[in-house]
Structure 1
Amino acid sequence: MSGTQRVEGRFQERGRGHTNSENTRWFPNALLKTQLIPPAPRKRNIFRIFYRASLGRLIARVFHDEIPNMGCVIVTASPLVVPRIKAKLFLRGYEPVEIQFVKKYLHPDRDVIDLGSSLGVVTSHIGRQLHAGRRVIGVEANPQLLDIIRTNVSRNAPQVQVALVSGAVDYPPDRRPWVELALGFDNLVAHIVEDEVVPNGILVPTVSLSEIVQRFELREYALVSDIEGSEAGLLELDRAALTHCRQLIIELHHTVRYSRIILAEELAAELRERHGFRQIDRQGSVYVFEK
């Protein structure tokens, strides 16, 4: 799914004056704006990157940029799809847990919203699970990817109706109607920028889950989500949108909102205790909930 992340220009620790053990207890309860907690830096294996890129180019030639992926065929002719992504698609290393849960749990008789559709890979697997005439609503912040999403979903799930929404599902504290999206080196990984200017940034509209539900007049629906930390704002500020959500497949991320570090496990607990979901399954950071 989409690699859209939220980051900010500055992070201030408010736990000064406490011992390390005190800070450990205090800091998760601190309160700041939403951001994705950056992972610890790690060394890149240059040989592995080169190998995957070379393998991806070979796979693209063999399959003429129509790459099999767990029952779907993903069109990768666009220059936005770099060779390493093509290799991951073929080797089943592209969002494998989300796809597994979609295949195992997704009910076929409900419309589905997919937040963070990226290339439309998971969206295509969603479409294949649904009955004819059902709707798949893909939401993607990067406008360059919309045609790719439509191509892939239409090819793999011709029986469903496809609708696309261009925008970032985000809940900025100042409620502005747009955010700046900084594109990554391959245009697939992007992050929402706060308090800084980036040379490759583009302005994209913000959209709430409630707006999507209202626009498409959805009643009971299923939600698949991978929005890299913005789910914290959704759970806090858009409770009404989840009232009629009957099934949720979501990747939860450690994040920060209003100076407070929020762990993925806390978000899962919030879904259970505040929003009334039952947890059905979990693998790593990917969860399945139902009502």
Structure 2
Amino acid sequence: PTMSVIGSSSDNSSVDIRFSEEVFNTNGASGDLEASDFSLSISGGIASLTSGTPTSISKIDAVTWRLGINISGGGTANGEEILTVTPASSSIYDEAGNAASSSTDGYLTDNAPPTITDVTIRNDGNKTVDVTFSDKVYDTTLEFGVLEETDFVFSISGGTASLNSTTPTSISGSGKTWALGTDMSGVADGYEVLTLNPAGNAIYDRGGNAASATQSNNTTNLKADKVGTSNAVLIEANYTYYHSLVQMNVLNYVVAYGGAQGHGNIKTFAISADGSSITNE
């Protein structure tokens, strides 16, 4: 006989098993199954088993049995947990006396909404943000549907750059990881904090749980932009050598150099917040 997992209860306190035919716990076609006729194991997700043996067993019909399971964190399982049910050796038989030997897998009920676990800005001029979720996500409650740009909301604080749009300009990815395009104006100084949240009732996990529109682990700092080579300032018209440039703070720099007659020189210059101009100080 073979068996399969039909599903687990809403609080993951039990799991239903269906056999391919009527089964017994002796090879003489008699005796109801017992909890010790099964072993349990779990992998993935955030919940865990506190016992490898069912806590209870009850017969639903001739081929269906309900096993009690003791799950730590069962009420907040994220649906990534795979429960494996295995018949104990020489414990479960069909009417002809054949022993069950093959195990079966099934997911726990997903009770935890998906959360953002990481947001990272790429080194591409602050044009792309990578976002990672705790589990696979969809844009419907039915475990299908690719996420869309309107499923996310950007906001920004600090620094000198600003958002032209709070909605991503593009989206790609699948499962847990997605890449979002950004639309910025101004030159970033690296002090901008970009925050990413799901839109309300827009992103779901396989259990149909909606991601909250308020998240943690959902911010990243923009990368500081470099000043374009089209902007320049004249430090010394005469021949110079041994140049050394030091950044004093976000917008101010000092340059030291050797000049005419072996003299040493130090001058400072400043860059405007938007990077459009450079001036001597």
Say whether the fold is shared (TM-score over 0.5): no
Higher share of residues assigned helix: 1
Higher relative contact order (CA 8 A, sep 6+): 1
Higher share of residues assigned strand: 2
TM-score (norm 2): 0.19
